[in-house]
Each structure stands twice: as C-alpha cells, then as structure tokens.
Amino acid sequence: MATVALSEANFNETIENNSIVIIDFWAPWCGPCKQFGPIYEKVSEEYSDIVFGKVNTEEEQALAGHFQIRSIPTTIILKENIAVFQQPGVMPEEGLKDVIKQVQELDMDMVRKEVEKQQAAEKAE
C-alpha cells in the first residue's frame, strides 16, 4: 500500500479504522525529510495491512502541534489508537522494519494497563 496524505479532515477516521498507522511528519523544504521519504515509501509497499501516512507540517500545523513535533522528519506509530513509538530523524530501512516488527508483536492489553497506571499517577500528583 502506498502512503496516504493525512490531514485534519481524514486523520481521526484513518487512525480509528486501522489497527496500525505509521505517520511521517515532514516538510517540503526539509533535507533529511527528502532523504527519508523514499525509504518510507519503499517500506510502505511491503506492508499491505498497515497504513503509512504522511503529514506535511507546513500545511497541517494543528496536527504537528497536537503531537508536539519539534523536529522533522519525525515518525510516530499508532497501534489501536495509542501512540506506541515516536522518534525524530531519518531511520534506515532496516531500522524502520525492526520497529514495525516490534509494534506488530506488542501486547496492547499490557500497553493499555501501563497507560492507565500513568494517567492515575498523574492525577494523584
């Protein structure tokens, strides 16, 4: 599956209707983004069950702000609507595939319990 341009208009629907969504936050003027783009596109062709989205931070500043994007490119992976991975910078092809494999194997029941614990601790403070 090729990459999908994500915007505020289609973002929520995309993450709610797909188990795993990988997002590349980028900008047209960004040199490292231009370097990472072809790697991201190539890897996206190998995973038909995963949505690979791209967010142009120039056009979608609200989405970039929501995820507190401070440098680009930044890759974020959502599994079952929970952000389970976030990393700025260019990732090599094998590194991206390795992270995808780890995300596919994640026990989301355990992740949800961890999120609940963190939220409870934050409320207690």
For residue 92, say if its preceding peptide bond is cis, omega within 30 degrees of 0: no
Residue 30 is a catalytic residue? yes
* Amino acid symbol at 35: Q
pLDDT digits (tens), the chain, 125 positions? 579 999 999 999 999 999 999 999 999 999 999 999 999 999 999 999 999 999 999 999 999 999 999 999 999 999 999 999 999 999 999 999 999 999 999 998 988 898 888 888 888 87
Contacts of 54 (CB under 8 A, 6+ apart): 3, 4, 5, 6, 23, 24, 26, 40
Candidates 4, 7, 27, 30; catalytic one: 30
Cα separation, 67 vs 76, whole angstroms? 9
Q: What's the predicted TM-score (pTM) here? A: 0.91
Candidates 22, 23, 33, 78; catalytic one: 33
pLDDT at res. 88: 96
Residue 33 is a catalytic residue? yes
Domains of the chain with CATH codes: 4-124 (3.40.30.10)
